[in-house]
Amino acid sequence: MDLDPDLAALDALGGFFVLRTGVPPRGPLPTLARAYAAPEVDHPGEVYGDPMIFRVRKVAEGLRAPEPRIAVSVAQQALAARLWSVALGAAAFYGQLPDLDPELLRWDPDGSAPDDLWLSEVRALPVSAIGTVVREGHLDPLEAALRSRYRVSRGLLRGNAGSALAGAWRQLDRWARTHGRPDVAERARVLAVGLLAGPGLAGTLAPGTLRRRSCCLYYRLPGGGLCGDCCFDRPPDPTAGRRGTTSRS
C-alpha cells in the first residue's frame, strides 16, 4: 500500500502512532533539526529559546521531578516512543516509510503527551531505511543534544530508546492481532527484532523478555513506581541511587 498524503491509516493505530501532515494550526513550530542544534546557535524570533531545554523544564514542572535528569529521561523516552511508533507503524502497515528527516518534522515543545509532531511533506522511503531514519536521523542527535545540556548517561538514553521501540512493537502487535492483520504483526516483528540487535540498541534489553538493563529513573518521581519492563524487582532507595546514574559514559 502506498503512503497516502495524510498518513490517515496511522490514525487507526491511535496515540503515539498518529502523525499529522501539513502546517500546524498553531502556526510555525521549530523543526526537530532545530531542537537538536547546539544551544549556542542563535535563532532570532524563536519563541521557545532552546526547544530542548524548554521541553525538559516543562516535563520537570509537570512531574515535579526532583532532579533534571529524571525529566530528561522522561522527555527523551516520550519523543523516542513517538518516532519509533510512527516509523514502525507506517513500515508495518504500508510497507513503506515516510521520510522523517528532522528538517521536515515540526515539534511543539510546549505540547502535551504524546509529543505533537507535524510532517511538512510526505516522501516515501523503503522500510529498510528505518534504522537510518530513526536511529541515525533522530536518536543519535537527540542523545548528543541532551548530553551536551545535562549530565545524563548514554546507557540510560539508549535503554530508553530500546524500551520505546519494544513498547511500539508490543502495541502494534496487539492491534494487528485484534484486527486480523498477521501481515502487519509479522512485518513489525521482523523490523523490531532486527533493530534491537543493531547499532545503538543491542544489549539494551534482555532477549526473550525484553526487560530493560538500565533504569529510566521514573521510580524517583513523587508517586512513581516501576515500569513494566523495569530492570528492578522493587523500587530502590532513591537516596542510594545517585552514584552510577550520573555517569556520562
- Its pTM stands at 0.88
> What percentage of the chain exceeds 90 in pLDDT?
65
Q: What is the mean pLDDT of residues 156-161?
A: 94
- Determine the 3-state secondary structure of 94 from DSSP: helix
Is 171 a member of any domain? yes
- 239 occurs within a structural domain: no
Count of domains observed in the chain: 1
Residue 23: partners with Cβ closer than 8 Å, 6 or more residues away: 118
Q: What is the pLDDT of residue 236?
A: 73
- pLDDT for res 241: 47
Task: Examine residue 201 and state whether it is found in any structural domain, yes or no.
Answer: yes
Note the pLDDT tens digit of each residue in 67-124: 999 999 999 999 999 999 999 999 999 999 999 999 999 999 998 878 889 999 999 9
- What pLDDT score was predicted for residue 42? 52
Indicate whether 77 belongs to any domain. Answer: yes
The rounded distance, in Å, linking the Cα atoms of 247 and 207 is 25
Report yes or no on 103 lying in a domain: yes
Q: Does 108 fall in a domain?
A: yes
In the block, cell 549556542 appears at: 40
**216 vs 168, more confident:** 168
Share of the chain above pLDDT 70, in %: 88
Tell me, letter by letter, the H, E, C secondary structure of 63-92. Answer: HCCCCHHHHHHHHHHHHHHHHHHHHHHHHH
How many C-beta atoms lie closer than 10 Å to residue 90's C-beta?
26
- Specify if 2 maps to a domain: no
> Does any domain span residue 164?
yes
Amino acid (1-letter code) at residue 243:
R
Residue type, 11: D
pLDDT for the residue 48: 65
176, 170, 215: which is closest to 192 by C-alpha? 170
Q: Which residue has the higher pLDDT, 50 or 86?
A: 86
- Within a 13 Å sphere around the CA of 241, how many CA atoms are in the beta-carbon half? 17
pLDDT at residue 90, as a whole number = 96
The position carrying cell 527523551 is 76
Mean pLDDT of the chain: 87
- 116-119 vs 20-21, strand pairing mode: parallel
Mapped onto helix, strand or coil, the DSSP state of residue 26 is: coil
User: 106 is in which domain, residue-wise?
Assistant: 8-37+49-234
What pLDDT, in 10s, does the model give residues 7-33? 998 999 988 999 999 888 877 889 999
Exposure on the CB side of residue 97, measured as CA atoms within 13 A? 22
Choice between 248 and 149, residue whose per-residue pLDDT is larger: 149
- What is the 3-state secondary structure of 43-65? CCCCCCCCHHHHHHHHHHHHHCC
Look at residue 245 and tell me whether its pLDDT is greater than 50: no
- pLDDT recorded at residue 28: 80
